[in-house]
Structure 1
Amino acid sequence: MQEQPDHALVPGLTARVELTVTDADTAQAVGSGDVPVLGTPRVLALAEAATVAATTRHLPVGSTTVGTRVELHHLAATPIGRTVAALARLTTVDQRRLVFEVAVTEDGRTVATGEVERILVDRHRFIERAGHTS
């Protein structure tokens, strides 16, 4: 049996990231509603940040991941001043396709759940194909 290199992407990798909700994170501020609570786009960004954190140290040199699909259930409102935490767990590695289970909580209460899919790409080639020169 071959040993996995240190940078291997394998199911079970996890990461947790936190956000203390500010005025800039509200639905009002991000344009997703008119209430002063954590906006769904910020919940999604936090969940995606957790998926990135889960794999960053394990990527092959010159690679990155890009998001391709998201399913998110925003279940509860979070007011300004509260801290939410997103936990991402890599559940599936299918060649370049990575699937994560995500959960966002606030003080033990589930705020959101979902699934995020990312694809492993060559960073330089991806940027070139996107039309950028740097």
Structure 2
Amino acid sequence: MDYNKLLNIGEVFKAKYKVEVSDTADFHGNTGVRVLSTPALLRYVEQGSSTGVYDRLSDGYRPVGTYVELHHVSATPVGGIIEIVSEVSEIEGRKFTYNFKAFHQDKIIAYGVYGQTIVPLDDFLKKSNVI
């Protein structure tokens, strides 16, 4: 597989998500903080950044997260719609890096860098002693 042809530097991917109760810091144990938690935000960053690569991979290959730099700078309430905008900033073999921003009502709520590596899923799981 030629990883350099999967994505292009500067390519942008966008995805929208609705904040659910299960996404809140309160749900994850930070009692009373009923806004989007950083771990849930990271999940959305990972999903949003990966949207462009899923359909382009050969069967048996998957992206896995390998690096994150996340600045969560503003709260988002339950029911709020967030938009993840990820731009491919670097391609090095099977490693992809994205610069991302997350928005709620046109306000930046987070920004950072997300990295992933494309792996042959069966080999990855075997090395991880999952199968």
Q: Deviations over 1:84-122 (max 9, x none)?
A: 111112111011211011111011000100101111111
Structure 2 equivalent of residue 90 of structure 1? 88
Cα distance in 2 for partners of 1:117, 1:92 equals: 9
Structure 1 equivalent of residue 39 of structure 2? 41
Compute the displacement of 1:58 (Å): 2.1
Question: What secondary structure sits across from 2:45 in the alignment?
Answer: helix
Structure 2 equivalent of residue 117 of structure 1? 115
Cα distance in 1 for partners of 2:113, 2:30 equals: 20
Compute the displacement of 1:59 (Å): 2.1
Cα distance in 2 for partners of 1:75, 1:47 equals: 14
Gapped runs of 5+ residues in structure 1? none
Q: Deviations over 1:10-49 (max 9, x none)?
A: 2233322222112111111123564111111111110000
Taking a change above 3 Å as real, the CA distance of residues 109 and 36 of structure 1, as seen in their structure-2 partners, is same
Cα distance in 2 for partners of 1:79, 1:48 equals: 20
Structure 1 equivalent of residue 74 of structure 2? 76
Q: Which deviates more, 41-50 or 7-16? A: 7-16
Structure 2 equivalent of residue 106 of structure 1? 104
Identity across aligned pairs (percent)?
26
Match status 1:51 vs 2:49: yes
CA RMSD of aligned residues (A): 1.9
**TM-score, normalising length: structure 2:** 0.88
Cα distance in 2 for partners of 1:14, 1:56 equals: 14
Gapped runs of 5+ residues in structure 2? none
Q: Is the 8 A contact 2:6 2:53 kept in 1?
A: no
Question: What secondary structure sits across from 1:78 in the alignment?
Answer: coil
Q: Is the 8 A contact 2:13 2:48 kept in 1?
A: yes
Alignment length (residue pairs): 129
Cα distance in 2 for partners of 1:32, 1:125 equals: 37
**TM-score, normalising length: structure 1:** 0.86
